């Protein structure tokens, strides 16, 4: 790690600001990646009042932030936290594809785009629940 950053992270207020800033920037990047893989445009649908999309997106936001919470808590450096947070996001993204694949009776994205709130709720809960499991694996390392 760079000596300047090490010195900066010794101050708890500065460290808090750095970790939150990195998490927010990562959240923006990761939500953009989710936006690329869904068949709907999250923020356009939320603007229209699509509650199912809002729930699914909220679950993704919570899931990503929760993974970073575990990552920050269990790593000494901002770099390790970022690596483990990104790794956790990749697992969450793979889980999203598995959820879509393991539900062959209907297309998850299409149902969420149609404001099927039951599917949106399940998508939200899956993202939140898996973030705890993923976070537990981050603590192990």
Reported as a single tens digit per residue, the pLDDT across 20-65 is 999 999 999 999 998 898 889 999 999 999 999 999 999 999 999 9
Reported as a single tens digit per residue, the pLDDT across 91-113 is 999 988 888 888 888 889 999 99
Query: What is the structure's pLDDT at 140?
Result: 63
| Nearby residues of 23 by Cβ (< 8 Å), 6 or more positions away | 65, 68, 72, 85
Other residues' Cβ atoms within 10 Å of the Cβ of residue 37? 11
Q: What is the pTM of this model?
A: 0.87
- Residue 75 carries which DSSP code? -
Contact 40, 119 (CB under 8 A): no
Q: Please give the Cα distance from 24 to 18 (Å, whole number).
A: 10
Q: Please give the C-alpha separations between residue 22 and each of 2, 19, 96, in angstroms, as whole numbers.
A: 16, 5, 23
Query: What is the structure's pLDDT at 6?
Result: 64
DSSP string across 24-64: HHHHHHHHHHHHHHSSS-HHHHHHTT-HHHHHHHHHHHHHH
Q: 41: closest CA among 94, 121, 112?
A: 112
- Residue 50 carries which DSSP code? -
Residue 33 tokens read as: 């990646």
Rounded mean pLDDT, 80-94:
92
pLDDT > 60? residue 129: yes
């Amino acid at each position: 790690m760079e000596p300047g950053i090490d010195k900066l992270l010794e101050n708890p207020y500065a460290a808090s600001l750095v970790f939150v800033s990195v998490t927010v920037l990562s959240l923006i990047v990761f939500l953009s990646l989710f936006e690329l893989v869904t068949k709907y445009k999250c923020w356009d649908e939320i603007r229209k009042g699509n509650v199912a999309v809002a729930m699914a997106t909220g679950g993704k936001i919570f899931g990503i932030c929760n993974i970073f919470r575990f990552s920050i808590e269990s790593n000494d450096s901002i770099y390790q936290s970022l690596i483990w947070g990104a790794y956790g996001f990749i697992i969450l993204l793979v889980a999203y594809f598995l959820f879509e694949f393991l539900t062959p009776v209907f297309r998850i994205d299409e149902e969420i785009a149609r404001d099927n709130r039951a599917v949106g709720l399940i998508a939200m809960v899956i993202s939140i629940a898996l973030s705890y499991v993923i976070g537990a694996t981050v603590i192990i390392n």
